[in-house]
Structure 1
């Protein structure tokens, strides 16, 4: 519901929001530009009478003095039968430059207020401003839910480029957008009489005028007691008309002054409601508050980017929900699949399971978890595939599941299997899936299989879970989930370095380039220094399609595209389809590959130390980070291998990086020569040094196998315990990141 509250208004008013934000950003420059050209008098008070006296010396035919909210003084006067206007210096009363309002600024203001459509346009603008308020509030609530609470609102965010742009810009601009939306909604409401502007001061007539000869303007007592900083406008009486009077408007009110006696003839203060209206107007426009205007303008400039990225996120989510064929009714099904998803990606895995069960001859009913029924007449088994949202919360399609489950009094005659989807980077990995399984067990529901988890939507882990399901069902069940595959590129093996043969762990560093003659590496590209490679950074993933397979295998990248090569580190696994293919690939052989960005696994910018931890081929992206550390930030590498004589991966490069200070410290451990010691053991020995680095704000990046990563996490928990923290705390702070397989 909250996501719909955020998405639907955004999609409906996206174009209008962009128009209002861009025009608002342009208009926000006016107060600052006006202020920059304003002459500010000395700090001592200057009265309106004193100013008017100076102006009279230079403008004997002055008709009106106006002071803008930014402090600019404008004199309207008659010369040669024409009304003219000048900006004047308040210190001397002399002209600075002719004054003429900008026709472009008037057009932009009209577009901003009414979309050039008069009252109907004003109504649309008002509705758009209100929608902006809804978007700001619902966006903040969604972000808090995603990050695990309001206290985590400023913590780092993960996701695709469009997601991170949308969130980071929204987080930076939310207060400005909320202020603009609220004030714009109020001003629109006053336009249509839904809110009051209050009463602007206007003294009542008739007034008794002295009628004597006019006094010098700089002697008028009412003007002498009015400070220049309070002036809005002073309108002169008609020449040679002793019955006319001065009209004076100030920040506090307005009235009329006798031109002979200089006394107030009448004065009416602004009421509180009108003062509030003017305060809101200044907040919205920045008039008189140039710094606020610029701040709101910068916030407004984020809106077009957020509108585009928001639409992209919605469209990707909309397309990702698959269409289910042969979806039986809940009471006719043999198997029921319930799906908990926030962004619809879990539905793709559910469809693969649904189709496989249907092909096995079963009747299958697949639905959101929120549609849990009190009973299923024919079902023998229930599969629950669910993601986790934020800090262990239920995703959108499952937020009512536990309440529905609680209302079911009697456990049905079916067995359940819960499969959780998540990212091990988050402290509450698959937290909601664990909560669901615990609730089912507490209600007495039987288990078909214990809880299993899928990290980062791994197709290989899903296939493994499918094998376990097939064994329990007594049927062959091959779950091959193929996400929508990006466009692939053909790459040619240009260089390889082999290690590990002597310790029965053959490993190769493979470097690929775009084949010669490819359209991407023409003469122009070579002249410009372009490699023809798709853009990627060290730590991103490359998906490689082995022959006769549509399921990609992912490898962490040890290079960036600017290096002119795509580099990976691959160990040969006996029977491994892709690793066997790559190890047998000759120089000049080609692969079909695509890039999958992995922005969550990168060193943070800044001067804080970086601790890199890996084992085996996990060294690949870590070497890439070191290679690009040309600013010589402190980097400490911990890595474990088997034998330094056989599989010391990247040994020459690492020694070179130590020499040129891209690598601060190299700590290696080899299990075949160091009494079966592993990288986690080396970390434990260096605990005090690591604790000191963590106290200085160090970020830790871990790459390698799951078992190694778990052991490293346990060792680090012991190291940081004296600091009153744990690895979960470091993860929440964005200071502990993993690329685990």
Structure 2
């Protein structure tokens, strides 16, 4: 609900909000430009009498002196019957330049205030300000939800791509946008009578005026008592009329000054409502606060990018959320498909099932598992297709499913079938799908078919599952879905470093470049341009020989390094690891990039604790390599022998010297101390706890057993802080890449 409250108004109002933002950013420059052009004496240096005397000496036909909010002094005068206006130097009264409002800024202001449509446009602009207010407030709550609480709102964000950019820009700009939207809504509400306007300031014209001989303006005591910084406007009396007076307006109020005696007549202080109104205007426009104007302008410039990234994210969610053109409402559907997915792969299978059931004549509703309704009155079939995240956890689109299941009221006719997706190389293969199957049975639902588990998106198993369902339901339909294979690159091995032979743990660092078949060696620098975009921590899929499924390895390099670098331990009987270990420089492989934005160190100067063992050091070294800003980064790593398999030893030494790596703590299980990385964490318990208390992020990479042991130790370290690993995980401060 909160996401819809944030996103839908933005979708419909994006064009208008972008127009308001761009014009607002341009107008925000005006106060700074005015300030730069003005000569502004310090407070107490010049009073209004002195200013008026100096100006009149250079402009005998002076009719009015005004001081704009940016401090510029403008004289309006008549010369030979022709009106004029000049910006003047208050220290001398001399003209600086002719004054004329910018036609460009005037047009931009009309576009900003009314979209050039007069009152209807002003009303639309007011509505857009209210929409922006709604978007800002809902956006703040979404940021709080993403970062893990109000206290974590300003901690470094995890993730990458458009979602990360959207969140980072929103966090940077939200207070400025909120201020602009709030003040704009207030001013618009006043204009159209929804809020009271302040009373018009100003006293009545004085009944008693001395009518004596006018004194030089520089000698008038009432003007001498007003500092220039308080002046807003001084209107001169009509020439040769002794009964006329000076009209004086200051920041504190307005009154009249007798041109003969210099006495202040009928001064009326400004009402509090008028003062508040002026503050609202200043906060909205930056008038009188040129620095604030620049801040508001910078915030406004984020709106076009936020609109673009917001629309892109909405489209990606819609495209991957089962929102199909022929998707029936849940209250009317005969078949329900619920999808749990982390990387959107499962949605492709769900769409295939949706299409087949539709063709078979069923009204089908497809949505994410988080959207489980309390009741589906007409449904007789419930299909749950879900992947498993990490070590048996729910994927992103299913994290609220178990909680919502408590309120679910299944109909008597409703039967269900669960289809799990996973990879058998993980110990908890399809664990979450099994848990969902058990939970649905616990609600009293009858199984249409036992839980089926699919290894590595096998299309054959999916088709077989569909055939079984067709038989069980007595409805002829078939399932056919072949996910598009990722585009592969031809990669050439250019360098390798081998470790671990002496301790029976052969591990190699392999560095590839994009193959340039048919090109001469002198053209090899162009190969770097052919690299796709990727970062350390992303994944390289390697296609082993004989057409087997790809194996995935974490990348230790970024595209800017010009190579694809992986660290691979040779597994006993491992087809792909054995294949890679048998490569020689010049040999070629087929591979593809898979982005992994959920495993990245956060930006900023809070500590980052990197923990790994064995080949898991690869992406961690890549993170250190990219730490060119020298933010605090600590590495805990475990191997077997410092003599045989100390991976990346030379590089880590250099990174310690140039401060890209703040601290290094290693553990070797086949040394005299027989230590593991968990032991090193326990030894540094106090320091680790202090870093976590200060907002540190933890990234763990390596084998599942190691990761489980590390988690247990971190739980022990966290106990005095009254938090746990799951709390850190929810805040994006505990990330794992385990295998």
Q: Distance in 2 between matches of 1:366 and 1:575?
A: 45
What's 1:112 paired with? 112
Residues 682 and 410 of structure 1: CA distance in aligned 2, closer, same or farther (over 3 Å): same
What's 1:406 paired with? 407
| Contact 1:521–1:532, Cα closer than 8 Å, also in 2 | no
- Which string of whole-angstrom CA distances, capped at 9 and with x for unpartnered residues, describes residues 176-214 of structure 1? 101101211222233334444333225556956554432
What's 1:130 paired with? 130
| Contact 1:496–1:511, Cα closer than 8 Å, also in 2 | yes
Q: After TM superposition, list the pairs within 5 Å mapping 1:619-634 onto structure 2.
A: 619-628=617-626
Secondary structure of the residue aligned to 1:367 is strand
699-708 or 173-182, which moves further after superposition?
699-708
The structural deviation recorded for 1:129 is 1.6
Q: Is 1:615 aligned to residue 613 of structure 2?
A: yes
Residues 172 and 433 of structure 1: CA distance in aligned 2, closer, same or farther (over 3 Å): farther
- Which string of whole-angstrom CA distances, capped at 9 and with x for unpartnered residues, describes residues 54-84 of structure 1? 3333332211100111222111223344333
The structural deviation recorded for 1:739 is 1.6
Residues 243 and 706 of structure 1: CA distance in aligned 2, closer, same or farther (over 3 Å): same
Q: Is 1:299 aligned to residue 296 of structure 2?
A: no
What's 1:9 paired with? 9
623-632 or 72-81, which moves further after superposition?
623-632
- Which string of whole-angstrom CA distances, capped at 9 and with x for unpartnered residues, describes residues 23-42 of structure 1? 21222122233234443434
Residues 610 and 311 of structure 1: CA distance in aligned 2, closer, same or farther (over 3 Å): closer
The structural deviation recorded for 1:440 is 5.6
Secondary structure of the residue aligned to 1:214 is coil
What's 2:250 paired with? 250
TM normalised by structure 1 equals 0.79
Q: Unpaired runs of 5+ in structure 2?
A: 423-429, 473-477
Q: After TM superposition, list the pairs within 5 Å mapping 1:206-225 onto structure 2.
A: 210-225=210-225
- Which string of whole-angstrom CA distances, capped at 9 and with x for unpartnered residues, describes residues 307-356 of structure 1? 12112111212222347799999999998543467997764464467789
Equivalent in 369, 373, 390 of residue 375 of structure 2: 373
| Contact 2:342–2:387, Cα closer than 8 Å, also in 1 | no
215-224 or 674-683, which moves further after superposition?
674-683
| Contact 1:29–1:293, Cα closer than 8 Å, also in 2 | yes
Q: Distance in 2 between matches of 1:377 and 1:25?
A: 53
1-10 or 587-596, which moves further after superposition?
587-596
What's 2:198 paired with? 198
Q: Distance in 1 between matches of 2:62 and 2:512?
A: 80
What's 2:536 paired with? 538
Residues 486 and 210 of structure 1: CA distance in aligned 2, closer, same or farther (over 3 Å): farther
Q: Unpaired runs of 5+ in structure 1?
A: 422-429, 454-458
Q: Distance in 2 between matches of 1:460 and 1:175?
A: 48
Give the length in aligned residue pairs.
719
| Contact 1:387–1:395, Cα closer than 8 Å, also in 2 | no
| Contact 1:328–1:363, Cα closer than 8 Å, also in 2 | no
| Contact 1:209–1:243, Cα closer than 8 Å, also in 2 | yes
The structural deviation recorded for 1:716 is 2.7
The structural deviation recorded for 1:537 is 2.7
What's 1:526 paired with? 525
The structural deviation recorded for 1:243 is 4.1
Q: Distance in 1 between matches of 2:187 and 2:438?
A: 53
Q: After TM superposition, list the pairs within 5 Å mapping 1:452-467 onto structure 2.
A: none
Q: Distance in 2 between matches of 1:212 and 1:692?
A: 80
- Which string of whole-angstrom CA distances, capped at 9 and with x for unpartnered residues, describes residues 59-115 of structure 1? 322111001112221112233443333333334434344433333322322222223
Q: Is 1:338 aligned to residue 338 of structure 2?
A: yes
Q: Distance in 2 between matches of 1:505 and 1:293?
A: 62
The structural deviation recorded for 1:558 is 1.5
Residues 328 and 643 of structure 1: CA distance in aligned 2, closer, same or farther (over 3 Å): farther
TM normalised by structure 2 equals 0.79
81-90 or 597-606, which moves further after superposition?
597-606
493-502 or 211-220, which moves further after superposition?
493-502
Secondary structure of the residue aligned to 1:13 is helix
| Contact 1:417–1:448, Cα closer than 8 Å, also in 2 | no
Residues 460 and 303 of structure 1: CA distance in aligned 2, closer, same or farther (over 3 Å): farther
430-439 or 183-192, which moves further after superposition?
430-439
What's 1:87 paired with? 87
- Which string of whole-angstrom CA distances, capped at 9 and with x for unpartnered residues, describes residues 672-710 of structure 1? x77986443454456567557767876543211222211
- Which string of whole-angstrom CA distances, capped at 9 and with x for unpartnered residues, describes residues 116-148 of structure 1? 333343233222222211111121222233344
Q: After TM superposition, list the pairs within 5 Å mapping 1:45-444 onto structure 2.
A: 47-204=47-204, 210-263=210-263, 270-322=270-322, 337-339=337-339, 347-348=347-348, 350-351=350-351, 367-368=366-367, 369-373=371-375, 379=381, 383=384, 385=386, 405-406=406-407, 408=409, 414=415, 443=443
Q: Distance in 2 between matches of 1:53 and 1:721?
A: 75
The structural deviation recorded for 1:300 is 1.0
